[in-house]
Amino acid sequence: DSGVTQTPKHLITATGQRVTLRCSPRSGDLSVYWYQQSLDQGLQFLIQYYNGEERAKGNILERFSAQQFPDLHSELNLSSLELGDSALYFCASSHAPRETQYFGPGTRLLVL
Amino acid sequence: AQKITQTQPGMFVQEKEAVTLDCTYDTSDPSYGLFWYKQPSSGEMIFLIYQGSYDQQNATEGRYSLNFQKARKSANLVISASQLGDSAMYFCAMRDPEETSGSRLTFGEGTQLTVNP
């Protein structure tokens, strides 16, 4: 157990819908990262927050947004969902940006 | 841009034997970090080992060691005394220098390791 929690574990929804994925970092970790793992694209970085502020952005679609709250938990919002958004979404956390990232169990999203 | 290459889509090893999983990387930055993660069939990503570009010695963590050859830009993972529970997908990853693009991880394609009894 990495200490990073993600909810829900599984999510099945329809095209065009909006979902919110939640992540609680390890105790004391200030940095949160979101990654997407799909069969065709592999593991891809989406976005990073540090102590509530956006720190770096990857190839995150405009339909996707995220934020980190004062209690350091983070949410990833996916809207206007398409079939191609089906993937395993990971949250990771680290105490500081240059330290080891520990991953949560992931949220498996299936868009039908 | 940073790039990680894992050329072995699948590897097989006998239980109790050692196995080496290959990883090469490409970067123009002098400061970088290299990681290995394990992903069992259940899906979670488990951190195994880390090597910093300025570390003088190869990293070791229990049965895992990292064969770091800076001049060849390779960071191979060595698993000694393989166990059935080592069967999983293994990913090599590089951390971007924070100064330029945060500290995202760039992952390779992964190597599926199967340990045979």
Chain B hits for A33, CB-CB cut-off 8 Å, are 104-105
Tokens of residue A33, six digits? 């990262």
Question: Per-residue pLDDT tens for B15-70?
Answer: 999 999 999 999 988 889 999 999 999 999 999 999 999 998 999 999 999 999 99
Rg (alpha carbons) of chain B, rounded to whole number: 14
User: What is the model's pLDDT at position B100?
Assistant: 54
> A90 CB near a chain B CB, below 8 Å?
yes
pLDDT of residue B98: 64
pLDDT at residue B13, as a whole number:
97
**Per the CB < 8 Å rule, is A103 touching B46?**
yes
Number of cross-chain residue pairs from A and B with Cβ atoms under 8 Å apart:
60
The pLDDT of residue B49: 97
CA distance A88 to chain B (A): 8
Decide: B53 and B113 in contact? Cβ < 8 Å: no
pLDDT, tens digit, 9 for 90 and up, residues B89-112: 999 999 987 655 568 899 999 999
| Cβ pair A2:B44 closer than 8 A | yes
Structure tokens at B98: 């924070």
pLDDT in tens, A64-112: 999 999 999 999 999 999 999 999 999 999 988 778 999 999 999 999 9
Report which residue type is found at A69. Answer: F
Which positions 35-94 of B are in contact with A (Cβ < 8 Å)?
Answer: 35, 37, 43-47, 50, 91, 93
With contacts defined as CB-CB under 8 Å, which chain B residues touch A94? 103
Which chain A residues are Cβ-neighbours of B52 within 8 angstroms? none
- A106/B105 Cα distance (integer angstroms): 16
Chain A nearest-CA residue for B97: A98
If one compares B31 and B8, the residue with the highest pLDDT of the two is: B8
